[in-house]
Amino acid sequence: MNAPNLDPALLEIIVCPACRSGLDLVAEELVCSGCGLAYPVRDDIPVLLVDEARKPA
């Protein structure tokens, strides 16, 4: 899979819907710097749904 192509301006304004912390692009997901939830990015669109997030290990 290719790395998602997300606008850097978008990454500056989106936050984790669970805890409101910032998100970092790691491989093919957005990982919360606060709670650690990892949100998928599908077709270059962040899916910021808590039910779709992967729980931290």
pLDDT digits (tens, 9 = 90+) for 22-49: 999 998 999 999 999 999 999 999 999 9
Residue recorded with tokens 């669970």 = 18
State the pTM of this model: 0.88
The pLDDT score that the predictor gives to residue 1 is: 59
pLDDT bracket for residue 4 (50, 70, 90): confident
Residue recorded with tokens 């290719």 = 2
CB contact at 8 A, 16 and 37: yes
28, two tokens: 């093919």
> Mean of the per-residue pLDDT values for the chain?
93
Other Cβ atoms less than 10 A from the Cβ of 37: the count is 22
Question: Which fold is adopted by the domain 8-52?
Answer: N-terminal domain of TfIIb (2.20.25)
